[in-house]
A and B are shown apart, each in its own frame.
Chain A
């Protein structure tokens, strides 16, 4: 049973470009969460989605960041016009239901030059 998959594992962007991070949840999981880990810090919640719906986006910056989890396909975290401060590890987690444990993917390391 494959775990949570994220791609790409590493992404390099120049300032002003767009970054698209993809997350495929574990089989049978319909709840997806995105977290960001800045260097030398713990993980911070960004957004929680359930198929086609954003449930909680309280941790996501209001500008330049968006997330979706379509009926078919992976969840996408999109960062427009990236800045150096966006450099971080972005982790996706999934769970089978709202009360179940969240399992994490390997993360995407974003570096903005």
Chain B
């Protein structure tokens, strides 16, 4: 079974600085998707970024980028120029690309605080 591990329960960053959130996963599959979701205090789940495993190029979305290391099964999220609005819980998630199920498997989350 696939698992997702986020080893940093909490992180803190100064406004305008850069922070990296870690995520590792375990799978025997070769084709899959990886995601980062953000959950602010409102608790709405918001998609931040998505990566297809078959793509070697790391995904980027404005200030958000990932470092995808397929061999190491690592998928970290880098937030540049951190803003107060980035404060939230961040969840890493895995989804198989094949098979009948499309369920997302989530890590336990990293709570990011942004200091002014």
Residues of A within 8 A of B (CB): 31, 33, 35, 41-45, 48, 55-56, 58-59, 89, 91, 93, 95, 98-99, 101-104, 106-107, 109
Contacts and interface: CB of A to CB of B under 8 A. Distances in A.
B109 A48 contact: no
Contact of B91 (A43, A55, A106): A43
Contact of B102 (A35, A95, A104, A107): A95
Contacts of A103: 47
Interface residues of B, number: 21
A42 B101 contact: no
Q: Is the interface of A mostly helix, strand, loop or mixed?
A: strand
A42 B102 contact: no
16 contacts: A31-B102, A33-B102, A33-B103, A42-B91, A42-B108, A43-B104, A55-B100, A56-B100, A89-B43, A95-B102, A101-B47, A103-B47, A104-B37, A104-B44, A104-B47, A106-B42
Contacts, number: 57
A33 B45 CA distance: 13
Contacts of A98: 102
A46 B106 CA distance: 12
Interface in B49-100: 50, 91, 97, 100
Given A42-B108, A93-B45, A106-B43, 5 more contacts: A42-B91, A42-B107, A43-B45, A48-B102, A48-B103
A34 to B, nearest CB: 10
A58 B106 contact: no
Given A33-B102, A59-B103, A102-B104, A107 B44 contact: yes
Contact of B101 (A55, A89, A95): A55
Contacts of B101: 48, 55-56, 58
A100 B5 CA distance: 23
B114 interface: no
B44, B97, B103, B109 — most chain A CB neighbours (10 Å): B103
